[in-house]
Every structure is written in structure tokens, then in C-alpha cells.
């Protein structure tokens, strides 16, 4: 085994990708690689890419351009492009940018071990891997308090705007025992919070065990104090899940439930398989069962054929539901998706105007909701320190809190909120 090699890895996109990076670093760590923070110090450079919107792909391409000179200086340097853009572009990317050595899609990251030892003659690894969910890879985790755990890979939903079914393939659930085993080990290592990961966690199934029963089993793992999950699809959110969330102490009072749009016409064109009324009903279920639950969401503006009156329905939805926070995006046509080919594409100026309006409205709502927390006691899991050296953590509702005292990461404390901002809270330790 060669020792002492250095890897630089840059990650784009979602938590799924961030966790894949932890797994890539796990594999490479076992091979003697250490992570470095600058490309020029590396023997191996990896870009773990995202393809969800045009902007994400552009960012990756410009990062790639910035390291071209390093390859010229050091022909031994290896460059790997992994992730969703790698999967989508495959061979084409290699033809376009010949200084890339290997292309590895998300289904094939386990091969990296052999690839770096030059065990293959081909350079593109984007084939489907039906066994992905059965592979347990070493993980080098960034955090010591909270950990991500994959439960389901891929997606079968085919929302018409979304590239994910083409980049991460068909839905495959991980075996129950592997998940439980991984979480038990995390608990032994001192992890306090786990976030279950999947494009649509609600579709999880292994034999008789569905997502709510998986959560019930995780509730019993000693040492773990908090359980979160992302992402849920509104069409699959069941009353059974709501009841389990209500009854399991460890499941945090937060759900990320992407609505995407408020107009039924647009939801239909998006193939979301729910109406605004269906969505609203689930919000009522959640809020009835779990008072104080935080609900966050994703919004797309400027989807093809979105008229002013459709957009107004999104605005109406934001006002009616009052999310705790949202991520909002301009529709970005992705090659291979149905929405990219729809008539009635919206000009960028209108998309930008709508995005600004959505964000401005949500800022007001978020600020107003956070203000209501001033003077209230919140349970905070301490995660570490911020740049200024203040202790920081998160509430069960996933809001960031800055605490005025020095507390060890991993501790759970009650905090009285003294000040609220749009994106964070401040508070002091509360003693009865
Ligand atoms: N354009 C804009 N936003 C998109 N999303 C997914 N695909 C696109 C696209 N083509 C958004 C959705 C999704 C989030 C992860 O990204 O809102 O929930
Ligand atoms: Fe994550 Fe989707 Fe981006 Fe892939 S395309 S990294 S799954 S957000």
C-alpha cells in the first residue's frame, strides 16, 4: 500500500453529496490518503458534482478550469469527477475536458478504491449498480455530534423538472439491519443526532418495515438523542408517520416538505401527484399532532407556463402556511427532463422578479416566527463554536442558536432565547 498521498475534494450540492464525500474520504483514508485544503497540495483532486440546476454545473466547471495549470505542472496528479454531473455527462465530459482522469457516478463510488490503484483500463464508471444499497463503505465524518445515515438511494418519482432519477437511478432501500447496525456504532462513538438521508425517505421499505416502523426501531437505540430525516415527498407523508413523529421523543419537531408551487395547474405539470389542498391537509395533520413543529419547504418559480395568477397562488400559499424557512429557486431547464421541453418557458427577468418577491415575503415570515421565540425556552444540542468563538447549536426545530456560555459539543441544554434574527437565535443557559 502506498502511503502519504494527499487528496483535495470539493463538494457541490445536497447533503447526499456531502455524505458521499465522507464515504469517498473513508475509502481513501483506508488507503493512506490524507485530506488537504488546497488543490496545489494534492496528488489527487476530486470534484463531487451536482447537476440539479445550471448554476451548480457552472460552478463546478469554473473550479475545474482553475486547476488545469496544476495538471500541466504535475502530470502525475490525478483528477476525478464524481457525483451527479459526472453521471449525466459521462464520456462527453471526458471528451470536452481531456485533463480529467476518471468519471465516477454516484452508484459507483465504491470503485474508487480500485481506480486509484490503476486497476482499470477504462475511465468512465457510470453503470447502474442495483446492489448500491447493500454496500457498506467506511465513512470519514466531518462532525462528531451529528451524523448522516443513508436509508434509501435513488428516486422513482420523476418530477418533470428533476434530473435526480437520471443521476441517482432507481429507488433502492438499504437493508434494515445495516442501518440499525450503523446507528448503533454511531451511538457507541458518541454521536447524539442522526439524519436519515434519501431523496424520498417516505418510500423506505425492507420487507414489512416501512419508514414509520424504521423510525420506531431507531427510537430504541440507546445514546442517540435526536433523529431527523430528509427529504419527504408530500404525497407519501402518511398519518402513520405523523403519529410516529408525535410519539417518538427523539424525532425532532421539524420536517422539510417541499411544496414547489401553490398552483394546481403547475403542480400537475410538475407531476407532483398532489394538489395544494392535499398539501395543506398534511400541514394540518402535522400541526394538529405536533404543536410547534417547524416546517420548511422548497419553491420553484418560473416553471414553464407559470402565469402571474399561478405565481400569485405560490405567494398565497406562503402567506397561508407560514413556513419556518424555504429554499427558493428559479426553474432551471435540465437536459433529458420533460419540463425542459415544455412550451411556455419563462424569461429570466420574470423568474428573477418572482424569486425576489418570494424571498422577500419569506424573510418577513421567518423573522416574525423567530421573534415569537424570544423569551421562550428551547432545547439545544451543542454542536461547536462559530467563527467568533461562541458556542452554537440547534433547537429541535433545527434553528441555529448562539449561546453566551462555554459548553462542550454533544451536550443538550435548555436555553432561554434572548434575541432573534432572520437566520439565527441567541440565548443564555436556563436553570430552573
Ligand atoms: N430547477 C430549479 N429548481 C430545481 N429543483 C430541482 N430541480 C430543479 C430545477 N430543474 C429544486 C426543487 C427541489 C430542490 C432540491 O431543488 O425545489 O426540491
Ligand atoms: Fe444532490 Fe440532486 Fe444535486 Fe445530485 S443533483 S447532488 S442528488 S441535489
Residue 288 has pLDDT above 70, yes or no: yes
Residues 286-297 have a mean pLDDT of 97
Are the CB atoms for 237 and 211 separated by under 8 Å? no
Q: b/e map of 106-128 (b: 16 or more CB within 10 Å)?
A: bbbbbbbbebbeeeeeeebbbee
Q: Residues of the chain with pLDDT > 70: what percent?
A: 99
Longest dimension (CA), the chain: 66
CA distance 106 to 150: 13
For residue 19 and ligand 2, the question of a CB distance below 6 A is answered with no
Q: Do domains 143-252 and 257-371 have the same CATH topology?
A: yes
CA distance 3 to 6: 9
Sequence ranges of the domains in the chain:
6-125, 143-252, 257-371, 377-429
* Average pLDDT in the chain: 96
Ligand lying closest to the C-alpha of residue 21: 2
Residue 427 has pLDDT above 60, yes or no: yes
Q: Smallest Cα–Cα separation from 410: which of 187, 147, 191, 194?
A: 191
CA distance 199 to 390: 34
Superfamily of domain 377-429: Nucleic acid-binding proteins (2.40.50.140)
**What pLDDT does 140 receive?**
96
Among 2.30.38.10, 3.90.199.10, 1.10.3720.10, 3.30.750.210, name the CATH number for the domain at 143-252.
3.30.750.210
**What pLDDT does 119 receive?**
84
Confidence of residue 300 (pLDDT cuts 50, 70, 90): very high
Other Cβ atoms less than 10 A from the Cβ of 225: the count is 19
Ligand lying closest to the C-alpha of residue 230: 1
Distance 380 CA to ligand 1 centre (A): 30
Residue 2 has pLDDT above 80, yes or no: no
Residues 384-400 have a mean pLDDT of 96
For residue 52 and ligand 2, the question of a CB distance below 6 A is answered with yes
Beta-carbon contacts of residue 340 (< 8 Å; ≥ 6 apart): 333, 334
Superfamily of domain 6-125: Methylthiotransferase, N-terminal domain (3.40.50.12160)
For residue 14 and ligand 2, the question of a CB distance below 6 A is answered with yes
**What pLDDT does 386 receive?**
93
CA distance 303 to 334: 12
Q: 36-43 — which CB contacts under 8 Å span 24+ positions?
A: 36/6, 36/7, 36/8, 37/8, 38/8, 39/8, 39/66, 39/67, 39/70, 40/70, 41/6, 41/8, 42/6, 42/7, 42/8, 42/77, 43/5, 43/6, 43/7, 43/76, 43/77, 43/78
Q: Give the model confidence (pLDDT) of 224-279 as tens digits.
A: 999 999 999 999 999 999 999 999 999 999 999 999 999 999 999 999 999 999 99
Ligand 1, atom nearest to 163 Cα: 7
Nine-digit cell at 253?
A: 419537531
Residues 338-365 have a mean pLDDT of 98
In Å, what is the CA distance from 369 to each residue of 24, 51, 125, 305? 39, 33, 47, 33
Query: Looking at the DSSP assignment, which residues form a beta bridge with residue 229?
Result: 196
Ligand lying closest to the C-alpha of residue 332: 1
My answer on whether omega of the bond before 347 falls inside 30° of 0, hence cis, is: no
Nine-digit cell at 368?
A: 416574525
Q: Smallest Cα–Cα separation from 359: which of 332, 322, 327?
A: 327
Please tell me the residue having the least CA distance from ligand 2 atom 3: 50
Q: Give the model confidence (pLDDT) of 201-226 as tens digits.
A: 999 999 999 999 999 999 999 999 99
Distance 52 CA to ligand 2 centre (A): 5
**What pLDDT does 118 receive?**
83
Q: Measure the CA dihedral 351/265/155/285, to 10°.
A: 110
Are the CB atoms for 427 and 420 separated by under 8 Å? no
- Show the DSSP H helices in 189-269 as ranges: 211-219, 239-247, 264-269
Pairing verdict, β 146-150 and 44-49: unpaired
Confidence of residue 91 (pLDDT cuts 50, 70, 90): very high
**What pLDDT does 3 receive?**
57
Distance 159 CA to ligand 1 centre (A): 9
**What pLDDT does 375 receive?**
97
Residue 1 has pLDDT above 60, yes or no: no
Confidence of residue 31 (pLDDT cuts 50, 70, 90): very high
Q: Residues of the chain with pLDDT > 90: what percent?
A: 97
Residue 339 has pLDDT above 90, yes or no: yes
Residue 4 has pLDDT above 90, yes or no: no
Pairing verdict, β 294-301 and 172-173: unpaired
Coil, helix or strand at residue 49: strand
Pocket of ligand 1 (CB under 6 A): 52-53, 161-162, 258, 260, 298, 300, 329, 331-332, 334
Are the CB atoms for 179 and 227 separated by under 8 Å? no
Query: Looking at the DSSP assignment, which residues form a beta bridge with residue 206?
Result: 209
pTM, two decimal places? 0.96
Among 3.30.750.200, 3.40.1550.10, 1.10.1040.10, 3.40.50.1220, name the CATH number for the domain at 257-371.
3.30.750.200
Confidence of residue 77 (pLDDT cuts 50, 70, 90): very high
CA distance 319 to 92: 45
Q: Give the model confidence (pLDDT) of 131-164 as tens digits.
A: 999 999 999 999 999 999 999 999 999 999 999 9
Amino acid at each position: 500500500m502506498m502511503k502519504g498521498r494527499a487528496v483535495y475534494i470539493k463538494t457541490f450540492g445536497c447533503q447526499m453529496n456531502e455524505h458521499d464525500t465522507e464515504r469517498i474520504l473513508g475509502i481513501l483514508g483506508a488507503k493512506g490518503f490524507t485530506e488537504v485544503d488546497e488543490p496545489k497540495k494534492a496528488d489527487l483532486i476530486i470534484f463531487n458534482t451536482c447537476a440539479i440546476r445550471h448554476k451548480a454545473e457552472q460552478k463546478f466547471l469554473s473550479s475545474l478550469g482553475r486547476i488545469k495549470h496544476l495538471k500541466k505542472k504535475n502530470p502525475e496528479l490525478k483528477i476525478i469527477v464524481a457525483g451527479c454531473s459526472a453521471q449525466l455527462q459521462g464520456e462527453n465530459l471526458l471528451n470536452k475536458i481531456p485533463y480529467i482522469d476518471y468519471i465516477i457516478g454516484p452508484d459507483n463510488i465504491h470503485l474508487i478504491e480500485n481506480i486509484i490503484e490503476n486497476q482499470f483500463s477504462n475511465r468512465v464508471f457510470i453503470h447502474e449498480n442495483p446492489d448500491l444499497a447493500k454496500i457498506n463503505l467506511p465513512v470519514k465524518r466531518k462532525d462528531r455530534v451529528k451524523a448522516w445515515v443513508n436509508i434509501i438511494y435513488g428516486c422513482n418519482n420523476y418530477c418533470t423538472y428533476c434530473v435526480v432519477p437520471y443521476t441517482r437511478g432507481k429507488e433502492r432501500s438499504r437493508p434494515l439491519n445495516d442501518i440499525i447496525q450503523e446507528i448503533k456504532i454511531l451511538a457507541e462513538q458518541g454521536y447524539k443526532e442522526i439524519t436519515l438521508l434519501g431523496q424520498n425517505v417516505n418510500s423506505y421499505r425492507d420487507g414489512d418495515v416501512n419508514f414509520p416502523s424504521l423510525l420506531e426501531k431507531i427510537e430504541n437505540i440507546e445514546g442517540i438523542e435526536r433523529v431527523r430525516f430528509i427529504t419527504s415527498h408530500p404525497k407519501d407523508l402518511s398519518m402513520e408517520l405523523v403519529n410516529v413523529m408525535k410519539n417518538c421523543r427523539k424525532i425532532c419537531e421539524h420536517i422539510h416538505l417541499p411544496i414547489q408551487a401553490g398552483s394546481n395547474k403547475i403542480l400537475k405539470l410538475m407531476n407532483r401527484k398532489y394538489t395544494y389542498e392535499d398539501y395543506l391537509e398534511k400541514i394540518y395533520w402535522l400541526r394538529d399532532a405536533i404543536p410547534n413543529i417547524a416546517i420548511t419547504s422548497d419553491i420553484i418559480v418560473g416553471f414553464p407556463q407559470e402565469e402571474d395568477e399561478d405565481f400569485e397562488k405560490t405567494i398565497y400559499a406562503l402567506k397561508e402556511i407560514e413556513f419556518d424557512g424555504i429554499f427558493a429557486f428559479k426553474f432551471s431547464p435540465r437536459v433529458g427532463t420533460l419540463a425542459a421541453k415544455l412550451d411556455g418557458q419563462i424569461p429570466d427577468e420574470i423568474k428573477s422578479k418572482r424569486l425576489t418577491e418570494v424571498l422577500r415575503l419569506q424573510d418577513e415570515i421567518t423573522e416574525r416566527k423567530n421573534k415569537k421565540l424570544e423569551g421562550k425556552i428551547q432545547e439545544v444540542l451543542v454542536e461547536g463554536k462559530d467563527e467568533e468563538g461562541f458556542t452554537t447549536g440547534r433547537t429541535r426545530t433545527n434553528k441555529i442558536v448562539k449561546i453566551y456560555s462555554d459548553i462542550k459539543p454533544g451536550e443538550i441544554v435548555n436555553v432561554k432565547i434572548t434575541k432573534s434574527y432572520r437566520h439565527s437565535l441567541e440565548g443564555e443557559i436556563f436553570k430552573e
